[in-house]
């Protein structure tokens, strides 16, 4: 619903027919997949159809739930969710599935930080992505300094990025603190200076 | 001061009203491909139409009402093995577990259409709510998994009020103390609420958390009033969802309802919000978009805009109850 483009002209009869055919195909595939699930189907073939459907509609939460009943390859799932998120960067279900995979493959978490950086380039306020970054950051045991550095970079790019301020606030008192700050007051002053810029 | 002839005023309003009635009625019949992402949540689209029409004082015929009621009951699913149940999202999702947001919107529709809920499997819904609560007090949406966040906590509370609790003495089917702890964990340092602990405070999740607390008679920290009031844009007049975001018409509900439910509706400039909401109106198609003139109107933003207008012009609409998201005139039927 959010982020739809403006319709500049009405669809031609051809385009309408095309849409109708797409809808029909989508409906058939959905029924097929849900029937397969009822049978306890765990075949690669069905998984493939589920992938196709999710790329079309990443918000079909039922399909993601079904998917997690399969034996899954982490890399394949990360690729699929990335594809879905490119189309729909605010899909709760797609981000969740990605998190679910990472929780089982923490060794892949470090690479997530790069993905998050890319998504935040496209939309610096995408809270799904910021949440995901926090999750991956913990899993990857990212150093506090690196978390702070990333947030400060975002603020340098746009001082109105409240999401970046929120990230700084999340890290509490050890924000913007140098090794030679021997008390909390010095650190607090540094933080105030940042905001007062 | 010149006033308009009341008959002319009425005629103008009626023409305005019919435009939006037509918008909702069209979406009752068909959903274009723009709504594909709502395919598995079609009952929520139906909710927007039904409650939106009622707020606009548009009555459905007895036949139309029955058709919708029967369709909604067709979405009820109960797992006889576990005794758990609720409603699913639409006809395209056969054989799936019920989803908490679909159960909420289904019940909201039924109550709005005057159904007595006698065909709802209340015990199954109660069991489902209990089972969906996680150890940390939060809620998932469905038995087969998925994310857990403030949206579903709200749904659990609203479902309980719509369906299960008939007096103030009856217990909620889930652990309210644990829920309260979870909501507290979602509270930000700035007084607003995020969807999950440690996340950014956001208008939608703030509504969900505030409403959940109020529905369960738990105290709400005053700091949220300031946070909500600050969401009114200094120059554009509407509400944004977070600091430094442009106003978006749907926050007229998320923020407006939060303030209204907390008895603080007048801490903001209501006229400015109303002006912003009207600037998002699609004068030809009917309905409202999220931003002024930017996108085609959509169901969600149309519904939440109408909710705001129902408070701004109480004489012309059926006012929406800010906590339950249905017309307030149904509240008496929810308690004995």
**Contact between B142 and A59 using a beta-carbon 8 Å cutoff:** no
Residues in chain A with CB shorter than 8 Å from the CB of B300 are 1
Predicted local distance difference test score (pLDDT) of residue B37: 78
Q: Does B295 touch chain A (CB under 8 A)?
A: yes
Q: Does A9 touch chain B (CB under 8 A)?
A: no
DSSP string, chain A: -TTPPPP-SPPPHHHHHHHHHHHHHHHHHHHHHHHHHHTT---HHHHHHHHHHHHH-TT-HHHHHHHTTS---HHHHHHHHHHHHHH-TT-HHHHHHHHHHHHH-GGGHHHHHHHHHHHHHH-TT-HHHHHHHHHHHHHTT--HHHHHHHHHHHHHH-TT-HHHHHHHHHTGGGTT--TT--SHHHHHHHHHHHHH-
B274-297 confidence digits (pLDDT tens): 999 999 999 888 999 999 976 789
Residues in chain B with CB shorter than 8 Å from the CB of A23 are 33
Q: Does A27 touch chain B (CB under 8 A)?
A: yes
Pick out chain B residues at pLDDT < 50.
none
Instruction: Give the nearest partner residue to A59 out of B40, B95, B147, using CB atoms.
Output: B40
Local structure of B234: helix, strand or coil: coil
Question: B residues 7-26 near A, CB within 8 Å?
Answer: none
**Contact between A166 and B40 using a beta-carbon 8 Å cutoff:** no
d(Cα A119, Cα A14) in Å, to the nearest integer?
Answer: 35
pLDDT at A173 exceeding the cut of 50: no
d(Cα A78, Cα A89) in Å, to the nearest integer?
Answer: 14
In order of A166, B81, B219, B227, B303, the CA distances from A170 in angstroms are 6, 44, 25, 18, 35
The CA-based angle B232-B191-A165, given to 5 degrees, is 80
Percent with pLDDT over 70 in chain A: 85
Instruction: Give the nearest partner residue to B196 out of A6, A22, A131, using CB atoms.
Output: A131
Structure-token pair, residue B188:
């930000």
* Distance (Å) from the alpha carbon of B170 to chain A's nearest alpha carbon: 33
B116-127 confidence digits (pLDDT tens): 999 999 999 999
d(Cα B253, Cα B284) in Å, to the nearest integer?
Answer: 23
What's the mean pLDDT in A16-26? 85
d(Cα B142, Cα B163) in Å, to the nearest integer?
Answer: 18
| DSSP label at residue B170 | S
Instruction: Give the nearest partner residue to A65 out of B146, B194, B290, using CB atoms.
Output: B146
Residue B178: partners with Cβ closer than 8 Å, 6 or more residues away: B133, B135, B136, B137
Q: Does A162 touch chain B (CB under 8 A)?
A: yes
A88-119 confidence digits (pLDDT tens): 999 999 999 999 999 999 999 999 999 999 99
Task: Mutation target for B interface from A7, A8, A37, A60: give the one with most B CBs within 10 A.
Answer: A60
pLDDT at A84 exceeding the cut of 90: yes
**Contact between A127 and B37 using a beta-carbon 8 Å cutoff:** no
Residues in chain B with CB shorter than 8 Å from the CB of A68 are 145
pLDDT category at A180 given cuts 50, 70, 90 is low
Quick one: closest CA in A to B293, which residue?
Answer: A6
Average pLDDT, chain A: 88
Look-up of token digits 């947001």: B101
pLDDT at A3 exceeding the cut of 60: no
Q: Does A88 touch chain B (CB under 8 A)?
A: yes
**Contact between B36 and A161 using a beta-carbon 8 Å cutoff:** no
d(Cα A129, Cα B109) in Å, to the nearest integer?
Answer: 34
Residues in chain B with CB shorter than 8 Å from the CB of A87 are none
**Contact between A57 and B39 using a beta-carbon 8 Å cutoff:** yes
Contact predicate B149/B197, CB 8 Å: no
């Amino acid at each position: 619903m959010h982020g739809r483009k403006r319709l500049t002209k009405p669809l031609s009869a051809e385009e309408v027919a095309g849409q109708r055919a797409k809808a029909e195909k989508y409906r058939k595939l959905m029924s097929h997949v849900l029937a397969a699930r009822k049978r306890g189907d765990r075949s690669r073939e069905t998984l493939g159809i589920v992938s196709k459907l999710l790329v079309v509609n990443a918000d079909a939460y039922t399909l993601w739930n079904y998917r997690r009943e399969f034996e899954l390859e982490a890399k394949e799932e990360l690729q699929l969710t990335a594809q879905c998120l490119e189309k729909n960067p605010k899909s709760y279900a797609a981000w969740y599935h990605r998190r679910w995979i990472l929780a089982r493959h923490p060794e892949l978490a470090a690479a997530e930080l790069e993905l998050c950086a890319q998504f935040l380039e496209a939309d610096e306020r995408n809270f799904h992505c910021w949440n995901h970054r926090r999750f991956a950051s913990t899993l990857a045991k990212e150093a506090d300094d690196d978390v702070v550095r990333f947030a400060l970079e975002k603020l340098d790019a746009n001082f109105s990025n409240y999401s970046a301020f929120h990230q700084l606030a999340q890290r509490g008192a050890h924000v913007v603190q140098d090794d030679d700050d021997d008390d909390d007051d010095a650190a607090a002053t540094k933080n105030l200076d940042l905001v007062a810029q | 001061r010149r006033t308009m002839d009341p008959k002319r005023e009425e005629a103008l309003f009626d023409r305005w009203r019919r435009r939006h009635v037509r918008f909702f009625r069209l979406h009752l019949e068909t959903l274009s491909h723009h709504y594909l992402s709502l395919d598995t949540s079609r009952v929520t689209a139906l909710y927007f139409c039904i409650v939106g029409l009622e707020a606009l004082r548009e009555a459905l015929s007895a036949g139309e009402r029955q058709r919708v009621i029967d369709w909604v009951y067709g979405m009820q699913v109960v797992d006889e093995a576990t005794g758990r149940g609720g409603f699913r999202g639409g006809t395209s999702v056969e054989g799936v577990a019920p989803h908490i947001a679909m159960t909420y919107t289904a019940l909201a529709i039924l109550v709005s259409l005057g159904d007595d809920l006698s065909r709802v499997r209340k015990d199954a819904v109660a069991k489902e709510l209990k089972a969906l609560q996680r150890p940390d007090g939060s809620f998932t949406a469905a038995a087969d998994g998925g994310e857990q966040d403030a949206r579903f906590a709200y749904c659990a509370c609203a479902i309980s009020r719509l369906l299960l609790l008939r007096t103030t003495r009856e217990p909620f089917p889930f652990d309210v103390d644990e829920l309260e702890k979870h909501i507290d964990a979602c509270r930000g340092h700035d007084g607003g609420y995020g969807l999950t602990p440690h996340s950014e405070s956001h208008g939608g999740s703030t509504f969900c958390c505030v409403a959940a607390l109020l529905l369960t008679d738990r105290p709400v920290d005053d700091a949220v009033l300031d946070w909500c009031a600050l969401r009114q844009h200094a120059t554009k007049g509407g509400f944004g969802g977070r600091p430094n975001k442009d106003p978006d018409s749907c926050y007229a509900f998320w923020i407006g309802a939060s303030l209204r439910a907390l008895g603080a509706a007048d801490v903001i400039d209501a006229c400015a919000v109303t002006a912003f909401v009207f600037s998002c109106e699609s004068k030809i198609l009917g309905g409202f978009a999220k931003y002024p003139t930017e996108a085609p109107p959509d169901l969600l933003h149309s519904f939440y805009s109408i909710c705001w207008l129902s408070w701004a012009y109480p004489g012309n609409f059926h006012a929406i109850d800010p906590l339950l998201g249905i017309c307030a005139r149904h509240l008496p039927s929810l308690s004995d």
